[in-house]
């Protein structure tokens, strides 16, 4: 009976088992902090910083999806936000907690799958995702969008950073159907402006653009192989 598909939830779990990287993969990924992963730097995304500098986003309640080592969660806390930051990897959560302690900021780091968290509707002013969405399989996108819409208050902002299709650091250009033929996300799916606009058409688009390149001496993280996009809940 264990592998019997009785409903849609059972179907989603079956598809997850074919495609999702195991928790052990992500713990191993974050266990070596010295390897040359660009986003391991303790700097916030340049787009996120620009949203605050331009007054588009103001401090409020934030839910970060796939927070990694905490660089954006820490920045948001320093800007006066109350931050709930969720990640699947225990290693990344521990690293993020260490960084937050060093910067003397309070962040509520949550070790969990984003689809298993319990939230009240309209709790957050901002939902932020830097690098989680491109690891979400196509069959989970509707769940992802439902989570974002449930989390946000009316007028709240959703911001995302994800792989450009065929980008330097990843961004597979395979179709959604091909994901299931290959049983792989090929390290992370890539997107175009048109795809992002179509996927998030239930939200009001504010901007979709390439991330701006940042120099090593800059206080922000930025590589042009990523898209940044900002939306508002209608």
For residue 160, list its beta bridge partners. 129, 229
The answer to whether residue 1 sits within a structural domain is: no
From first CA to last CA, the distance across the chain in angstroms is: 43
pLDDT tens over the chain, length 234 residues: 578 989 988 888 888 888 766 667 787 878 778 777 788 889 999 999 999 999 999 999 999 999 999 999 999 999 999 999 999 999 999 999 999 999 999 999 999 999 999 999 999 999 999 999 999 999 999 999 999 999 999 999 999 999 999 988 889 999 999 999 999 999 999 999 999 999 999 999 999 999 999 998 999 999 999 999 999 999
The answer to whether residue 174 sits within a structural domain is: yes
The answer to whether residue 2 sits within a structural domain is: no
The answer to whether residue 215 sits within a structural domain is: yes
Give the Å distances, CA to CA, from 18 to 24, 106, 183: 15, 37, 6
CATH number of the domain bearing residue 158: 3.40.50.150
The answer to whether residue 101 sits within a structural domain is: yes
Q: Look at residues 211, 204, 188 and name the one whose alpha carbon lies nearest to residue 48.
A: 211
The answer to whether residue 155 sits within a structural domain is: yes
The answer to whether residue 76 sits within a structural domain is: yes
Pairing assessment for the beta strands 204-210 and 226-232 based on DSSP bridges: antiparallel
Give the global pTM: 0.93
d(CA 33, CA 220): 19
Based on the structure, what is the number of domains in the chain? 1
Range of the domain at 50: 8-232
């Amino acid at each position: 009976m264990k592998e019997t598909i009785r409903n849609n939830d059972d179907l989603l779990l079956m598809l997850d088992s074919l495609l999702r990287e195991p928790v052990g993969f992500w713990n191993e990924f974050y266990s070596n902090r010295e390897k040359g992963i660009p986003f391991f730097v303790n700097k916030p995304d340049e787009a996120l910083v620009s949203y605050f500098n331009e007054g588009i986003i103001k401090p409020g309640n934030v839910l970060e999806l796939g927070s990694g080592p905490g660089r954006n969660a820490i920045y948001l806390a320093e800007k006066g936000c109350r931050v709930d930051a969720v990640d699947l990897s225990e290693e990344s959560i521990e690293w993020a907690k260490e960084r937050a302690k060093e910067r003397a900021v309070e962040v509520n780091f949550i070790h969990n799958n984003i689809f298993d968290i319990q939230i009240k509707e309209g709790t957050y002013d901002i939902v932020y995702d830097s690098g989680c969405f491109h690891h979400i399989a196509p069959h989970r996108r509707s769940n992802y969008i439902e989570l974002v819409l449930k989390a946000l208050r009316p007028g709240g902002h959703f911001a995302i950073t994800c792989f450009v299709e065929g980008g330097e650091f990843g961004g597979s250009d395979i179709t959604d159907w091909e994901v299931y033929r290959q049983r792989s996300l090929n390290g992370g799916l890539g997107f175009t402006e048109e795809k992002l606009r179509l996927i998030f058409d239930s939200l009001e688009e504010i901007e979709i653009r390439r991330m701006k390149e940042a120099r090593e001496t800059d206080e922000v993280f930025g590589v042009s192989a990523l898209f940044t996009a900002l939306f508002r809940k209608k």
